[in-house]
Structure 1
């Protein structure tokens, strides 16, 4: 369809070529009068193409969140074998830095996704993460591991985190919470795979080749995920096709629901990863379990996390997000406090399974309620980035503080004071659950039209 210099092709605007009743149609050209910029097409609600993208995003999540979930295996190996001169706290900084950069870099990758750089970030993030894994296989000193596993892989994961969620969000509306829950299940599945492979190979192949095998698995999953995400897809955007959202919205400082949401996530994330980091070492040092069984307890927690995420996401689609979110946050805190009374293998395995089941929902549920927390779409992206930026600080400092508390008053290299670690994890999550109840009250009071979604 030819257009003159002053005419705009509807295809260039991403609109349907079928004219509306209010447009003047010519057989050779369509002239659109000046007006507001075209709106993006409404979100789809499923379909084969959309669910294939859910599967592809789940595979990506298996890599970018699977390795942090698997870090308990690395923490155990570093503490007891490779980096015995380092403290539990200093080793925990490696894993928490990965998550911190993952979330913080996501604040920038979100606007880049808006203007069409999804494909660039997908390939660059996958290549950089795989490169970081291969470099980790050559690392033997703390600073080398800190740079490769902490810095390089953290930045790489940040390029992939929010764009994957945003892509799925474009394809669903009514079933968005369920789709997000399925995507987030890739994290514990990846954690299970990486933990089991690490446990089975580390004794025979050693650290270097075990990590290389993990890198090849990562490369294989990305090669499967790329076609699922991109083949025949029309919702990834072209470079320059959209408008980037702003990174900061000062009006958020005057919004009570925003701060209640932010502080809830902050305290929940402060304690969320502590059990996943320290379960293997606790099992081995405090309970005398063999290393293989110590790592299997993390697998049990990750497996139950899958069930918890799916159940909570389905419940959110039926009764609203806040009830499942409050329940899971409160029960996660309770189980961390109950961890202080665990002194044998049976109760410990029960704790691992139950904590994994209830804590798993704390990842997919918060993004589902945020459009109610911030009903203005013009600042939604900016405020979500601000909330996640503060949450990333909690993820950064929570586990290292727990690691430092575990070494208070100990004398030997194989001794730990786990009571302080357990109380810290439980109390900060309890504070987060209390903030969730306050958020619920605020949303019901201030967002009455959306009460049925809360």
Structure 2
């Protein structure tokens, strides 16, 4: 927290501020609801349109979408600082809706790359960064709580969409099921366009082409360690979200159960995201994230690894991992914001996620490759996810020590 932040009178609430949070909620829902339902799509495509492709090959489709969502936030952050959110959110809304409305026409591998990976990824990038950065313009002390509220949207969508698609796939088919999802996003994104706005003075530049992430920010060692920690956290995060469905099916459970287990995981994530924001504002954002990563390690090694075909253990893992991983995405933006001045937040955020995006790109294909190498056994995938969380936690602890010292009860 900087002296400049104290001089600025953040609203910390009120109609205008909370309307931005609502708009951010709608935008976050549109971007992350389907991302949090990736396991459902992977399981369906693996059994139907892309049944001739390996899990690792299909993983590249979802990995590229995640990569573009976060990597293309690199130029989006500085553009937000300079010009505000309006135009980017409008273009992103068009791309995201077009992706879902066209997805039902895809029949070949490259179709999914263009329609889902590229259109959805670019649309998500143009929406996610402005929605989160705009919230930081209205909240400082309560930033963790406000961001957590907005980020619960992805979990809400991750509860609704798997259950909805479970009914729609056999009832109306893949094409109309995805179109219905697209029409829902049209309504939500209309609200996002109406409600999300910026507040702080803009910093226009003479040439839009020179807007880029500021790599000099990585000279700040705590920020660099936080970035590396988030990178490794992303390696771990999307593996359970994506592979819990195929894990359940491979251990004798029905497709119906595998769809439900994704909803159960996201239900846990909803409570985790909401409560993490409240806890973070009391004991510190980075402290809360470190504790959540420790719990993720325990969940992976103590619950998922020995679960096998035990239905009760799979459900318990889904609930607990959902709760403790809920803070992974919701607290990342506010941890970054804690290390920079608010007016530079877009640039810091973009620089961080430019690197983190490579973690999202490679995580699912690597996990798919491990799965194939182990002849469909999941122990290697689970260990990979757990160790990713261990490494992420160590980098975040290092960042905390550098920035706030060794004090165990220091709020940071």
Report the TM-score when normalising by structure 1: 0.83
Q: 1:433 Cα deviation (Å)?
A: 1.0
CA contact (8 A) 2:103 2:112 kept: yes
**Match of residue 392, structure 2, among 397, 410, 432:** 432
Aligned to 1:350: 316
Report the TM-score when normalising by structure 2: 0.91
Residues 409/358 of structure 1: CA separation in 2 closer, same or farther (3 Å cut) = closer
Residues 445/157 of structure 1: CA separation in 2 closer, same or farther (3 Å cut) = same
CA contact (8 A) 1:249 1:379 kept: no
**Match of residue 359, structure 2, among 373, 382, 394:** 394
Aligned to 1:296: 260
Tell me, yes or no, if structure 1 residue 87 matches structure 2 residue 54. yes
Residues 59/444 of structure 1: CA separation in 2 closer, same or farther (3 Å cut) = same
Q: 1:227 Cα deviation (Å)?
A: 3.0
Residues 239/88 of structure 1: CA separation in 2 closer, same or farther (3 Å cut) = same
SS of 2:253 mapped into structure 1: coil
Aligned to 1:192: 159
Q: 1:84 Cα deviation (Å)?
A: 0.8
Q: 1:238 Cα deviation (Å)?
A: 8.4
**Match of residue 363, structure 1, among 320, 329, 344:** 329
Matches within 5 A, 1:58-73: 58-73=25-40
Give the structure, 1 or 2, with the largest relative contact order (CA under 8 Å, sep 6 or more): 2
The superposition leaves residues 272-323 of structure 1 with CA deviations (integer Å, 9 ceiling, x where unpaired) of 100010111111112x111111111010110110101111110111111122
| Higher mean displacement: 389-398 or 251-260 | 251-260
Aligned to 1:4: none
Separation in 2, partners of 1:246, 1:152: 22
Tell me, yes or no, if structure 1 residue 148 matches structure 2 residue 112. no
| Higher mean displacement: 191-200 or 420-429 | 191-200
Q: 1:389 Cα deviation (Å)?
A: 1.0
Residues 373/227 of structure 1: CA separation in 2 closer, same or farther (3 Å cut) = closer
Separation in 1, partners of 2:152, 2:77: 21
Aligned to 2:383: 423
CA contact (8 A) 2:20 2:135 kept: yes
Separation in 1, partners of 2:21, 2:276: 18
Which of the pair has more CA radius of gyration? 1
**Match of residue 90, structure 2, among 108, 123, 128:** 123
**Match of residue 199, structure 2, among 235, 249, 252:** 235
Tell me, yes or no, if structure 1 residue 105 matches structure 2 residue 68. no
Separation in 1, partners of 2:347, 2:189: 29
Residues 407/168 of structure 1: CA separation in 2 closer, same or farther (3 Å cut) = same
Tell me, yes or no, if structure 1 residue 208 matches structure 2 residue 175. yes
| Higher mean displacement: 154-163 or 42-51 | 42-51
Aligned to 2:246: 281
Separation in 2, partners of 1:209, 1:280: 22
Q: 1:445 Cα deviation (Å)?
A: 3.2
Tell me, yes or no, if structure 1 residue 165 matches structure 2 residue 132. yes
CA contact (8 A) 1:57 1:164 kept: yes
Report the number of matched residues: 402
**Match of residue 136, structure 1, among 99, 103, 109:** 103
In structure 2, list runs of 5 or more residues that go unmatched: 1-6
Q: 1:453 Cα deviation (Å)?
A: 4.7
Aligned to 1:319: 283
Aligned to 2:339: 373
| Higher mean displacement: 132-141 or 189-198 | 189-198
Instruction: Report the structure, 1 or 2, having the larger helix content.
Output: 2
Q: 1:226 Cα deviation (Å)?
A: 3.1
RMSD value over aligned CA atoms?
2.5
**Match of residue 174, structure 1, among 138, 141, 152:** 141
Q: 1:146 Cα deviation (Å)?
A: 1.4
Tell me, yes or no, if structure 1 residue 43 matches structure 2 residue 7. no
Separation in 2, partners of 1:63, 1:236: 26
Separation in 2, partners of 1:243, 1:51: 33
Separation in 2, partners of 1:167, 1:440: 26
Aligned to 1:444: 404
Q: 1:367 Cα deviation (Å)?
A: 2.0
Aligned to 2:350: 385
